[in-house]
Amino acid sequence: MTALPLTLSAEVVTARTRGLPLVALESTIITHGMPWPQNVETARAVEAAVRAAGAVPATIAVLDGTVHVGLEPAELDRLGQAQGVMKLSRADLAICIAQGRTGATTVAATMLCARLAGISVFATGGIGGVHRGAEHSFDISADLHELARTPVTVVAAGAKAILDLPKTLEVLETLGVPVIAVGQDDLPAFWSRESGLKAPLRMDTAREIAAAHRMRGALGIAGGQLVANPIPVEAEIPRSRIQPVIETALDEAEARGIAAKAVTPFLLQRIFELTDGRSLVANTALVLNNARLAAQIAAELV
C-alpha cells in the first residue's frame, strides 16, 4: 500500500484531538482567483472569520507532493506568491502528489482532501459550473460531479454569473445534488444577491443544513450539498452593473481562444480589471460571509 502523504497543521491537529468543528478552505481562489497580496490577506481574513465563529480553519493545498490540511502562516505566504502552481481538480490530484509538485486545490480537489481528513464542511466563494456555450465546448466543471460523489457540504455564494446558471442547476439536479438557498427563495449569483432563478431548495438556519447533511449520510446517499449563501447587501454588485462587464470578459475570452482550466482564472482577472477592483472587494466579503455560515454548520455537526 502507498502511504498517504498527508500533513495536518498544528491547529488542525489540536482541533481533532479536542473534537472541535473544522471548516475546509480551498487554495485555487488564492493562486488563480485573486492577485497577490490581496489573495493572502483574504485567505488570512477568512481563516480568522472561521475562528471568530467558533470553528478551526483548514486551508488545503498540495506542497511539494504532500497534501496539507491546514497551512502554517509561512506556507500560506509562499503559496500566495508562488509561480507555476498547478490547478488541481479530481483529474490532477494524484499526479501532483506522485510527482512531488505543488498545486492549489479547486472545489473538487478540496472536497476530496477534506474527506480524507474527516472534514464535512467547506467554505469557498463560488463553485465551477456549466459554462455558457457548453453545448459546443462541453465545458462543465468537475466540481459538479464531485458534489455528486463526495460527502462534503460546500458553502458558496451561488454560482458565478459568468456561467450558464439554468444549465448549472439542471446538471446539479441530474446529479442528485441538493442546491439550498439560504434565507431567500432566489438562487444567489455570487456578486449579486439574486439571479432571477428560483433555487430548488431553501433553508434558513445552519441547524437545518447540518440535519440534512447528517440524514444524507444516514441514508447512504453519496455526495454532498451545495449551500448557496447570498452576498451581504452592503457588498453586492447589482446584476445590472456586473452583467455588461461579464459579457465583455466573455467576448474577450472567446476572441483569445481561452479554453479549459484557463477560462475561470482569465474571466476573474478581467472582471477585476474592468470593475477597478470592485469585484474583488465583493468576492472577499462573500467568502467571509460563507466562512461564518460554514463554521456554524460545522459546529452543529459535532
Query: Which residues form the catalytic set?
Result: 26, 160
139 binds Mn ion (CB under 5 A): yes
Query: What residue type is assigned to position 80 of the chain?
Result: G
Tell me the residue nearest to ligand PSU as measured from the CB: 33
Could you say which of ligand PSU, Mn ion, none residue 164 binds, taking C-beta under 5 to 8 angstroms by partner kind?
Answer: none
- The answer to whether the bond into 230 is cis (omega within 30° of 0) is no
Question: Which of 264, 275, 279, 290 is close enough to bind ligand PSU by CB under 6 A?
Answer: 264
270 binds ligand PSU (CB under 6 A): no
Phi and psi (nearest 5°) for 37?
-95, 0
Pick between residue 9 and residue 27 the one whose CB is nearest to ligand PSU: 27
229 binds ligand PSU (CB under 6 A): no
**Which residues 6+ apart lie within 8 Å of 281 measured at CB?**
235
In the complex, minimum distance from the CB of residue 249 to Mn ion, in angstroms, rounded to a whole number: 15
Pick between residue 210 and residue 245 the one whose CB is nearest to ligand PSU: 245
132 binds ligand PSU (CB under 6 A): no
Question: Which of 15, 22, 25, 33 is close enough to bind ligand PSU by CB under 6 A?
Answer: 33
**Which residues 6+ apart lie within 8 Å of 75 measured at CB?**
61, 63, 68
Single out the segment in contact with ligand PSU by CB under 6 A; choices: 27-35, 147-155, 201-209, 236-244.
27-35
Pick between residue 34 and residue 267 the one whose CB is nearest to Mn ion: 267
Q: Smallest Cα–Cα separation from 161: which of 192, 124, 202?
A: 192
In the complex, minimum distance from the CB of residue 13 to Mn ion, in angstroms, rounded to a whole number: 35
Distance of CA 284 to the CA centre of its chain: 13
Could you say which of ligand PSU, Mn ion, none residue 300 binds, taking C-beta under 5 to 8 angstroms by partner kind?
Answer: none
The 8-class DSSP code of residue 34 comes to: S
In the complex, minimum distance from the CB of residue 213 to ligand PSU, in angstroms, rounded to a whole number: 20
Single out the segment in contact with Mn ion by CB under 5 A; choices: 27-35, 81-89, 138-146, 228-236.
138-146
The residue with cell 447528517 is: 214
Own/partner contacts of 74-78, CB < 8 Å, gap of 24 or more, are 76/30, 76/40, 76/43, 76/44, 77/40
Measure the CA–CA gap between 71 and 180, rounded to whole angstroms: 29
- Ranges of beta strands (E only) in 174-274 are 179-182, 201-203, 225-228
Contact 227, 206 (CB under 8 A): no
Measure the CA–CA gap between 25 and 57, rounded to whole angstroms: 7
Question: Which of 21, 32, 76, 258 is close enough to bind ligand PSU by CB under 6 A?
Answer: 32
In the complex, minimum distance from the CB of residue 4 to ligand PSU, in angstroms, rounded to a whole number: 22
Distance of CA 139 to the CA centre of its chain: 18
Residues near Mn ion, by CB under 5 A: 139
Residues near ligand PSU, by CB under 6 A: 26, 28-29, 32-33, 106-107, 125-128, 141-143, 261, 264, 268, 283
